Amino acid sequence: MQLDPASGWCQGVNLCPSPNFNARPTGEISLLVIHNISLPPAQFATGKVQEFFQNRLDVTEHPYFEGIADLRVSAHFLIERDGAVTQFVSCLERAWHAGVSSFEGREVCNDFSVGIELEGTDDLPFTDAQYQALTTLTRQLQNTFTGITAQRICGHSDIAPGRKTDPGLAFDWARYRAALEKEEQQ
């Protein structure tokens, strides 16, 4: 995968453009937010996340979908259980992933962040393929957007405490950070 700094789109990943984005107010990109998602909850490889981010989810297919029918959300990326990466929004645009949020006293994190969704739940371990893809994608982002330092990578729960819990206790922050450090040294 290769991130094109001029367009904000990655080459070598699945592209699934979402209508749920708008312009960044400042153009600044200095935060990476890690999330998790599965639709229906704890079911994987359904294609429903892609439909949800494109406002095409058939809410009659599952009772859970009725509760999210009116939401208009997106993320920049989704990493599925097999490590496949899908991009929904250019990194240069503002995806709608963080909601009401604050990082280091600065609110509206969507304005200056990139959001990566991992297909999963708070309490199920993520896969080796997901950690590998996440590490590779993170390095691409850091190489392009130098404001995303190791200290400016967080979970959704960090920027929306009490409201959000993802990526959850099953996400191995130590493993992820060690992989990033190893890549940086190479």
pLDDT, tens digit (0-9, with 9 covering 90-100), for 79-118: 999 999 999 999 999 999 999 999 999 999 999 999 999 9
- Cα dist. 27→24, 91, 112 in Å? 5, 10, 7
* Torsion angle of C-alpha atoms 139, 143, 147, 151, degrees rounded to 10: 30
**Backbone torsions φ then ψ of 156, nearest 5 degrees:** -55, -35
Burial 12-32 (b: 16+ CB within 10 A, else e): ebeebebebbeebeeeebbbb
**Burial class (CB within 10 angstroms; exposed 0-12, middle 13-18, buried 19+) of 121:** buried
What percentage of the chain has pLDDT greater than the value 90?
95
Average pLDDT along the chain: 96
Quick one: pLDDT at residue 141? Answer: 98
CA angle 77, 80, 81 (to 5 degrees): 150
Cα distance between residue 101 and residue 72, in whole Å: 17
Is 66 labeled as catalytic in the residue annotation? Answer: no
Cα distance between residue 21 and residue 55, in whole Å: 12
- Do the Cβ atoms of 115 and 136 come closer than 8 Å? no
Quick one: pLDDT at residue 7? Answer: 97
Of the residues 61, 117, 119, 181, only one is catalytic, namely 117
What percentage of the chain has pLDDT greater than the value 70?
99
- Cα dist. 178→12, 27, 159, 172, 184 in Å? 25, 30, 22, 10, 10
Res 185 pLDDT > 90 = no
- List, for residues 51-89, the tens digit of each pLDDT value: 999 999 999 999 999 999 999 999 999 999 999 999 999
Res 186 pLDDT > 70 = no
